[in-house]
Amino acid sequence: MKKLFVPLLIVVAAMFAFAPIVIANARYESTMGLIQKIFYFHVPSWLAMYSAIGVCGLASLIYLFQGSRTADCYAVAGAELAILFGLMGLVTGPLWARKAWGVWWQWDARLTSALLMWLIFVAYMLVRKYGGPGSEKLAAATAIFGTATGPFVYKSVDIWRTVHPTTNVVPTLPRDMALALLYCMIAFFLLFLVLLTVRVGLAQRQMALDDLYLAGED
């Protein structure tokens, strides 16, 4: 991963630089107009958030059952990225909603559950920051419960009648729109990988520094 980092960074930067052109060239959706273009950043940011949640939940499980401290570094990186990409989704969503539905926010099942899932990971960071020693396990449990809500958030639009579009929209897109979306999804996923690498590296250095500090005290 570390060897790939610089090429990956260049690829991500190039993809994001080129993204506006790809999005502009995709079909103009006539009912919603220009605001529909936000879709190409809104959906990929949630994809990146689900990826971050997956990493955080899985790493927390490994940390909890095997005590691997590297896994804990992945968990904290995943949680921070989940907050970051979730925030992107929570900002782009209302911007779109204001135009499409006329309100910034609707208390429907998808919006409410997505906000809750995001809050669980904010709570995760609060526990890590203010819980003091011994809070890592507590945080890991929080992450596992947070990850368990993920599938509910994803399926919520199919279970309840919501104003938010269902999961059917993406597989039935016209070809040019689907390709643009795929492009943005790859860009966001690669960005997620780059940030994850940086953050895990930082967490590992913090861990090494803590160990050195403790060893120096003894």
**Footprint on this chain of other proteins (rule: CB under 8 A):** 64-65, 112-113, 116, 119-120, 123, 126-127, 130-135, 137-138, 140-142, 144-146, 148-149, 152
Q: How far is the CB of 205 from other proteins (least distance, A)?
A: 25
Spatial separation of the C-alpha atoms in residues 196 and 214, rounded to whole Å: 27
Q: How far is the CB of 96 from other proteins (least distance, A)?
A: 24
Q: How far is the CB of 171 from other proteins (least distance, A)?
A: 25
Q: Which is nearer to other proteins, 36 or 142 (CB)?
A: 142
Q: Which is nearer to other proteins, 36 or 60 (CB)?
A: 60
Phi, psi at 198, each rounded to 5°: -60, -45
Q: Which is nearer to other proteins, 44 or 57 (CB)?
A: 57
Q: How far is the CB of 199 from other proteins (least distance, A)?
A: 23
Q: Which is nearer to other proteins, 30 or 66 (CB)?
A: 66
Q: How far is the CB of 70 from other proteins (least distance, A)?
A: 17
Q: Which is nearer to other proteins, 51 or 142 (CB)?
A: 142
- Residue labelled with tokens 């059917």: 168
Q: How far is residue 24 from each of residues 36, 110, 159, 177, 199, measured CA to CA in Å? A: 11, 28, 33, 10, 32
Q: How far is the CB of 127 from other proteins (least distance, A)?
A: 6
